[in-house]
């Protein structure tokens, strides 16, 4: 079994290095970039969590609790997402007056939850608790799992962290992936154009999930169950595709139905053929309109501006 783990590790690191070369746009502290003729400032909070703002005044302090009272969107990235791709979504929120926190999870952090996704989830909770601002969560693919791990940690100290979850006023879930899609999603993210590598990696991951149930699979199951029975009851917008092999329509509709039965207001948009986490590129105008309506319907600060 050690050889299985080692094989997966080597494959993951090779894929990360390859994608890193292609997407080599560094996230430098207080980096000023120009996006749509607007200065955007980025500061690293942890290695996987970054704060993006239209102004560097708050970033100079290095503390999130110094934020001016501005709603903040938490973007939970898909695996190996490039900064350029994530900024397309960040810009949507920046234009609405939000600050943005991006959360990244690498393949190895997904495969070894106790040292990876659970640490990221706890770090995210601490960041959220450090400020009293309103939050919106916008998650993609395995970002749903990372958010679920954050909620698992929150429920260990609900007296402290439930009020933090209650400050989330809207949720947007783009192609959220269930535990059953891990053997499909990781190979797809690592080797998007290499079918033989996808199949080999998928077989190894399936073997790994069976062999290391107590190390990995049990954590996936617990977190995914909490996503369905979420303690974060903000209205949800689900964006999906009938042809997506990773964020499957049946499972996302099931999550939406469970939330509605829990009393959570939900909206669901299913396109017929857009690829996994690429609905924005295929249906940009409709995607933006749905997200903006969801925000203005549920975020008090935006309602006051309407």
pLDDT at 301 over 90: no
Coil/strand/helix, residue 222: helix
Mean pLDDT of 117-140: 97
As given in the structure block, the two tokens for residue 205 are 């991951």
Per-residue pLDDT, 302: 80
CA 4 – CA 197 distance, rounded (Å): 15
pLDDT at 23 over 90: no
Tens-digit pLDDT profile for residues 209-236? 888 888 888 999 999 999 999 999 999 9
As given in the structure block, the two tokens for residue 51 are 């704060």
Per-residue pLDDT, 199: 86
Tens-digit pLDDT profile for residues 130-151? 999 999 999 999 999 999 999 9
Tens-digit pLDDT profile for residues 83-105? 999 999 999 999 999 999 999 99
Question: Where in the chain are the domains?
Answer: 29-180+212-305
CA distances from residue 245 to 142, 146, 177, 253, 259 in whole angstroms, order as listed: 13, 20, 9, 14, 22
Per-residue pLDDT, 26: 40
Nearest to 124 by CA among 94, 100, 150: 150
CB 184 within 8 A of CB 176: no
Query: Dihedral of CA 105/173/231/90: which sign?
Result: positive
Per-residue pLDDT, 62: 47
Q: Which CATH number fits domain 29-180+212-305: 3.40.50.1820, 3.30.540.10, 3.30.70.260, 3.40.720.10?
A: 3.40.50.1820
pTM equals 0.84
Tens-digit pLDDT profile for residues 253-291? 999 999 999 999 999 999 999 999 999 999 999 999 999
Per-residue pLDDT, 59: 57
């Amino acid at each position: 079994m050690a050889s299985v783990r080692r094989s997966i590790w080597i494959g993951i690191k090779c894929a990360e290095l390859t994608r890193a070369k292609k997407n080599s746009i560094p996230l430098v502290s207080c980096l000023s970039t120009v996006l749509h003729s607007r200065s955007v400032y980025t500061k690293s909070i942890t290695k996987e969590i970054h704060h993006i703002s239209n102004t560097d005044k708050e970033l100079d302090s290095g503390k999130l609790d110094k934020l001016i009272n501005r709603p903040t969107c938490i973007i939970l990235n898909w695996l190996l997402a490039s900064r350029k791709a994530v900024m397309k979504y960040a810009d949507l929120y920046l234009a609405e007056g939000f600050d943005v926190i991006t959360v990244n999870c690498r393949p190895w952090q997904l495969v070894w939850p106790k040292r990876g996704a659970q640490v990221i989830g706890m770090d995210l909770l601490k960041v959220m608790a450090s400020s009293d601002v309103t939050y919106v969560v916008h998650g993609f693919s395995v970002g749903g799992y990372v958010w679920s791990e954050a909620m698992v940690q929150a429920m260990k100290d609900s007296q402290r962290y439930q009020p933090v979850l209650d400050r989330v006023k809207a949720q947007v879930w783009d192609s959220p992936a269930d535990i059953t899609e891990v053997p499909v999603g990781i190979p797809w993210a690592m080797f998007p154009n290499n079918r033989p590598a996808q199949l080999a990696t998928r077989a190894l991951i399936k073997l790994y999930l069976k062999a290391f149930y107590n190390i990995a699979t049990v954590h996936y199951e617990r977190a995914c169950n909490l996503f369905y029975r979420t303690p974060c009851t903000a209205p949800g917008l689900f964006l999906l595709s009938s042809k997506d092999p990773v964020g499957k329509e049946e499972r996302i509709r099931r999550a939406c139905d469970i939330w509605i039965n829990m009393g959570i207001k939900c909206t669901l948009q299913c396109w017929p053929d857009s690829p996994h986490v690429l609905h924005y590129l295929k249906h940009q105008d409709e995607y933006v309109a749905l997200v903006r309506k969801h925000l203005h319907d549920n975020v008090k600060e935006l309602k006051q501006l309407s």
